[in-house]
Amino acid sequence: MKYETLKEELKRQINSGAIKPGGKLPSIRELSLQWACSKNTVIRAIDELEKEHLIYSIPKSGYYAIVRPSISEDQPPRRIDFAVAAPDPGIIPYEEIQHGLNRAVQLYGDHLFSYGDPLGFPSLREAISRHLAASQIFAGPERISIVSGSQQALHLLASMPFPNGKSAILVEQPCYPGMLKIMGLLGITAIGVARTESGLDLDELERHFRNNAIKFFYTVPRYHNPLGTSLSRVEKEAIASMAEKYDVFIVEDDYLADLEMDSKSDPICSYDYSGRVVYVRSFSKVMLPGLRLGAAVLPEALIKLFSMYKASSDLSTTALSQAALEIHLGSGLFQRHVARMRERYGVRMMALQEACSRDLNEKEGFRLSRSAGGIFAQLQLPDHLDAEELAAAVRQKDVHVLPTVYCYLPSVASTNSWRLSIIRTSEKEIEDGIRIIRQTADELTNQRKTSPLGRSAVTWI
């Protein structure tokens, strides 16, 4: 049929680069004349391309390409990367970001090249205040600090003293490896509390709050890294209540809030009535990592001290990135991009769940955490397959994974598992990667059966 021919030709132009990433497609009228067909035929072809996530529409503007060839300098063509956590370069809206940067220079001029408020542009903080209200966080701009990525906020919070006079940090086990590195470098006393796919043991958490000198509890309630699961409302409310009861602050890392599928899922911060929750939000993870932008919503008791530590760290966050984010938030570009990312990653996560269900049998000891969204899921491995050994074996076949041993404190026993990321993988790559993992696991199992000493086949790596 003619619409299929038109669709395939447009797809060829997009994949070959004839239509550049972010480039505008010819109008429906132009395509209709060029192909001597009806507008309905063109619309049908366009609809099919949208369903395949190759193009997107901007009302009253037209249709734009969002996919580009996945081959890049840092990712060889054959590599299937379940380990990386940086956004897929193939769906980053480079042209939109360039528009935001150009517009920022036009609007702000000389202000972009001088030192600003350590807490960030007042106008951007107002825009973020409005943006956060959709997540049930109602904080004025005076409580918001712009940071150079959420990592900077975590480093500053770990470094500075807190009003409760306590010094230890309580972290979930497993947890975000970057937080573990911060605490290790700063020589901070770190205590672990177990978190599983089922959530937190609230009785154990309360014992830590009551018996240990906890400065703050670091938690990732939404789309946990590496588990991929989220805490329940009951758990979030209990954490906020315990924070007040035991004078413990909470650092809530909500790095993927913009990818939330459930509109009723609110952060711990929305249940904070005592001013003990520090809410950290990332904009780099869903937009462009190089912009290095995040926001920290601070309790009143921490604003002055955090501002002092922030100023001593970098004087102020880069002005050009701040201006670009403000323009993207105000124009709706950020919201539209997030909607595309949410849909794309949702499809990939479903593909991962289906591939693991088909190829990695739970009866054999494999189990993928039931992540409802986000970018991570944890794959539990059978006891006879060592996580690091199997990771080394699949790496020889250009499949990369992250053993979760890197997500645990040195004093805590890690589970025999991997963190799988879908952020840089297509649905086909997910299927191929899981199949390779299955084949490699079988090969390693058979080698152990035939080896007289039962030695690892990859101990030389």
- The pLDDT, as a whole number, for residue 454 is 52
| Separation CA 168–CA 304 (nearest Å) | 22
Instruction: Tell me the residue type at 188.
Output: I
Q: How far is CA 247 from CA 3, 64, 84, 163, 239, in A?
A: 64, 51, 37, 9, 12
Buried b (16+ CB within 10 A) or exposed e, 301-332: ebbeebbebbeebeebbbbbbbbbbbbbbeee
Mean pLDDT of 328-336: 86
**Residue 169: closest CA among 179, 308, 35, 260:** 179
Task: Please identify which residue in the block is written with the tokens 């890197």.
Answer: 406
Determine the 3-state secondary structure of 378 from DSSP.
strand
Q: What percent of the chain has pLDDT over 90?
A: 62
- The pLDDT, as a whole number, for residue 450 is 77
pTM: 0.81
Pairwise pLDDT comparison (113 vs 225), residue with the higher score: 225
Residue 242: pLDDT above 90?
A: yes
- The pLDDT, as a whole number, for residue 234 is 97
pLDDT digits (tens, 9 = 90+) for 52-101: 778 877 767 788 887 554 444 444 457 999 999 887 776 666 677 777 77
Tell me the two tokens of residue 222: 């939404």
| Separation CA 9–CA 454 (nearest Å) | 55
Confidence of residue 453 (pLDDT cuts 50, 70, 90): low
- The pLDDT, as a whole number, for residue 386 is 97
pLDDT digits (tens, 9 = 90+) for 374-425: 999 999 999 999 999 999 999 999 999 999 999 999 999 999 999 999 999 9
Q: What percent of the chain has pLDDT over 70?
A: 90
Mean pLDDT of 332-357: 91
Proportion of the chain in helix, strand, coil states, percent, rounded to 5:
50, 15, 35
Tell me the two tokens of residue 216: 């703050």
Least reliable range by pLDDT among 69-73, 230-234, 260-264: 69-73
| Separation CA 410–CA 184 (nearest Å) | 10
Strands 190-196 and 168-173: parallel
Q: How far is CA 267 from CA 73, 151, 271, in A?
A: 38, 19, 8
Contact between residue 26 and residue 63 where contact means Cβ atoms under 8 Å apart: no
| Separation CA 338–CA 81 (nearest Å) | 22
Mean pLDDT of 29-46: 90
- The pLDDT, as a whole number, for residue 346 is 93
Average pLDDT for the chain: 89
- The pLDDT, as a whole number, for residue 74 is 47
Contact between residue 355 and residue 430 where contact means Cβ atoms under 8 Å apart: yes
Pairwise pLDDT comparison (436 vs 456), residue with the higher score: 436
DSSP E strands: which ranges in 197-304? 199-200, 214-219, 249-253, 277-282, 294-297
Mean pLDDT of 224-236: 97
Domains of the chain: 2-69 (1.10.10.10), 95-331 (3.40.640.10), 335-450 (3.90.1150.10)
- The pLDDT, as a whole number, for residue 324 is 83
